[in-house]
A and B are shown apart, each in its own frame.
Chain A
């Protein structure tokens, strides 16, 4: 079983559109949407949700006001400025000057480190695991799709990505599926690292812009650190042909397998509107170019060594 992760550094270069097409062209695969806090793959790949699983993320601390003795120990110990003092609630019959101060933990700031829980002399702080979103197992034409929805303003996207990939590996093993394709998030941080770690190869989707190249160079360094083979395709390549040439040059100088260029084509957005992948919807220039990218990538994948035995 081999794992290919689609990344870009810069957002909006076309990762999801390319992933949806590769997932349509690959005869048998598991596809993952690892861009869990702005998931879009489900919008462009016809599917049927078979199973919904709650995502248990990290723990959050919460103060039980009936036990709190107002000592302020938690405020002093918290390194994340998550504990604040507020005027508190007025009980019926109380005068305004009798407002009791309350210590409150802001769940958005709380890192879940448990320090306040440990040091609270009144044992007034609870530490509960949070449900931070939902994971989905869906059926598509060429195999399962594993995706998720991170709850509003929730954290732990890296952990969620790791769980999705674990689920996908299990399904690939159980059903003898040879390939896992992962649609990665933009950037180079936590969820990207979780998407790339232990992948056999990454396909960088970039665009011929200064920003696109700047970000591509950074994400390529990340892939190198994580020992993944690197392939690259240029989306909207005709937008700035000179820059596309520069990117190709960068590829040949940096041991990146060039997988092709995709021209700007209105059909990309039209297919999205129809809820289909580009190659399913169109026979236009972009669709044909993505087919070529898939042929190259599957050739390269065959030659890439298996990472995990």
Chain B
């Protein structure tokens, strides 16, 4: 089963929720995946050991000039301006390439062979508590994160519970991460920005057919914004699965890269309660899927 922690807005506490849930469920044989490959942070908190690192590349065209007849078919099919006939020779622009292989397939002279562009690194490690963490690190200057996210997700073992830390936003990287999740946990904050972006993410998840639950971070019962979030969740029929109160101490602990469940017993209790609710919800979803 795949639980994805997402938000829309950045900085609402996705990584905090991911890593602390992971610590609570450490003895359940879970895996953690950080799909925020542009700015991965889970490893800062989980402190994995025995780290392995592997470079991930994507196909880009390389032209064999001796075979090329300058027919220009490759330029015609390429939708991304990654290959072009310029001043009597074929030029490639590897950064623009989407690795569709169109030019390779269309070349009548078999003059295009597969080269590679580095997307980033795929890293794995195991936390002192025994949790396997896999994360991606996008090469700085690389524009396309979804293919690297795909590589991170390839290591998901469907028989285990996987907790996935999603990137912010509602576009390609978030969608690549969220698709085929069994449950999305939306971490929201009670601010106008938080509510606006939560609603956008909910629309994306409806389109992707992913069930969801909401966690309110930095909740403040005195505040009208928390009330607005409650109203919104009620209107949409989405469960509010936990509320984490605003706490300067918690912010301080997170700023040092430390775990709330280790330092604040009251937070640990809230995470335990949240994990219990998630496990129940995932069971219900699984039973529904297993039914013929």
Contacts and interface: CB of A to CB of B under 8 A. Distances in A.
Nearest to B204: A153
Most chain B CB within a 10 A radius of its CB, from A59, A185, A240, A269: A269
Contacts of A186: 10-11, 38-39, 168-169
Interface string B157-182: 00000000001111111110001000
B254 interface: yes
Contacts of A118: 77, 102, 106
A35 B171 CA distance: 10
Interface residues of B, number: 57
Contacts of B71: none
Contacts of A272: 191-193
A193 interface: yes
Nearest to B76: A118
B284 interface: no
A154 B140 contact: no
Contacts of A8: 10
A239 B252 contact: yes
A239 to B, nearest CB: 6
Interface bracket on A: 35 or more
Contact of B175 (A10, A115, A153, A219): A153
B10 A37 contact: no
Contacts of B11: 10-13, 186
B240 to A, nearest CB: 20
Interface in B207-226: 207-208, 224-225
A59 B102 CA distance: 15
B79 interface: yes
Contacts of B197: 38, 40
Interface string B126-150: 0000000000001011111100000
Contact of B255 (A188, A221, A243): A243
Contact of B101 (A115, A187, A211, A275): A115
A175 interface: no
B94 interface: no
Contacts of B80: 113
B51 interface: no
Interface of A: 8-13, 16, 35-38, 40, 43-44, 58-59, 77, 79-80, 108, 111-115, 118-119, 150, 152-155, 157-158, 185-193, 207-212, 214-215, 218-219, 221-222, 225, 239-240, 243, 269, 272-273, 275
Top-7 shortest CB links A-B = A11-B10, A12-B11, A113-B100, A187-B38, A210-B257, A209-B255, A37-B171
22 contacts: A11-B10, A11-B12, A12-B10, A13-B10, A35-B169, A36-B171, A37-B200, A38-B10, A38-B170, A38-B200, A150-B171, A153-B203, A155-B171, A155-B175, A158-B143, A186-B11, A187-B39, A189-B143, A190-B144, A210-B257, A222-B140, A240-B255
